[in-house]
Structure 1
Amino acid sequence: MIRFKGRSSIRQYMPMKPIKRGYKVWVRADSSGYMCEFQIYTGKVDHAPEKKLGERVVIDLSRNLVGKNHKIYFENFFNSVELQRQLINNKIYSCGTLRKGRKHCPEFKSDKDMKRGEADWHISKDGLVALKWVDRRSILMLGNHNDPLF
């Protein structure tokens, strides 16, 4: 989020963020933090929320990486099983945290059955790895280039 207090039709308001008002910018950066590509979020189209916004942003920002065997990492807003399958088909390897209620997310052991430091994982036939790890709270990860047994 880039702070902006003036008037603009693309200014966003996010009450839970440290910078509450400004321009929302999606960025693809390299491992040193250098910005490679960016996209400014211009808001909803026709006042309807865009479905799969996170997936679209990742696909748009990774177009130049198709077929180059790069690895990308992102947070749970963007990650989904469908996105991981699209990326592996494009020879882009990725990993990220995952929200619990995502579509096609595998069933894991309940938090009550797991102790701190324990992990549960699932490997799909197409090579996706879903992992649940418990620390103070449970963390879900989903990737297409990881091996939990290694």
Structure 2
Amino acid sequence: MDKGENNLSTHVVLKLCEDYLDSGRTDNFYTHIPLANQLLKRKTHNIGTLRKSRKYLPKDIVTAKLSRGEVIGQENKDGIVVAKWRDDKRDVLVLSTHHTLEIVNTGKKNRKQEDIKKPKFIINYNAGKAGIDLSDQLSSYSSPMRKSIR
């Protein structure tokens, strides 16, 4: 993605989010650092997962090898945190303008009766994502695109 496309996508997303700006809400639309900067200027926090191929990401965070449950991150001068966390199966790369790298107890236990701990940004991301996932699931049952059988 070149700089022109990046500015265009940031402008489009800001236009789509116009009703929610200046209210302190979170948004995970097309997560990248230039958009996070623009949203912060509008007093709107952003949290979302990142693709590791995005521009402007700290290389040491993206390429870090983590063990299960480990988290590393970096905050820039504007307060944007890019973090990487390893869950049971994969690495999760997250951008947040509101969180730190704090690890909290989820209140749940695993099979060995050990407390399950996660970064606070993951818990908040999952809580906000739950409604979208349910909406996507329900809309998939009545898709207008039907396959025909001959």
TM-score class, shorter-chain normalisation, is 0.5 to 0.7
- What's the offset of the Cα at 1:98? 0.5
Give the alignment of 1:139-150 within 5 angstroms.
139-149=92-102
User: 2:91 corresponds to which letter in structure 1?
Assistant: S
2:21 counterpart of 1:66: yes
1:89 is the counterpart of 2:41 = yes
TM-score, normalised with respect to structure 2: 0.57
Describe the superposition over 1:23-78 as per-residue Cα deviations: whole angstroms up to 9, x where unpaired: xxxxxxxxxxxxxxxxxxxxxxxxxxx8236534421111122222222234xxx1
Matches within 5 A, 1:123-142: 123-135=75-87, 136-142=89-95
Helix, strand or coil: the match of 1:117?
coil
Aligned residues between the structures: 97
Question: Structure 1 residues 98 and 67 mapped into 2: Cα distance closer, same or farther (>3 Å)?
Answer: same
Q: Which amino acid aligns with 2:35?
A: L
Contact 2:74 2:83 in 1 (8 A): yes
Q: Which amino acid letter does the alignment assign opposite residue 101 of structure 1?
A: S
More strand by share: 1
TM-score normalised to structure 1 length: 0.57
Q: Which residue identity does 1:94 align to in structure 2?
A: N
* Structure 1 CA distance for aligned equivalents of residues 38 and 62 of structure 2: 27
Question: In the alignment, what sits opposite 1:14?
Answer: none
User: What is the identity, as a one-letter code, of the residue corresponding to 2:40?
Assistant: I
1:131 Cα deviation after fit = 0.7
In the alignment, structure 1 segments of 5+ residues that lack a partner are: 1-49
* Equivalent AA in structure 1 for residue 95 of structure 2: L
How far the C-alpha of 1:109 sits from its partner, in A, is 6.5
Partners of 1:88 and 1:82 in 2: CA distance: 10
1:73–1:95 Cα contact (<8 Å) kept = yes
- How do 1:1-150 residues align onto structure 2 when only pairs under 5 Å count? 51-52=5-6, 54-74=9-29, 78-107=30-59, 108=61, 110-111=63-64, 113-135=65-87, 136-149=89-102
Structure 2 portions without partners, runs of 5+: 104-150
Q: How much identity, in percent, do the aligned residues show?
A: 32
CA contact (8 A) 1:117 1:133 kept: yes
> Equivalents in 2 of 1:114, 1:125: separation in Å?
25
CA RMSD of aligned residues (A): 2.1
Name the structure where helix makes up a greater proportion of residues.
2
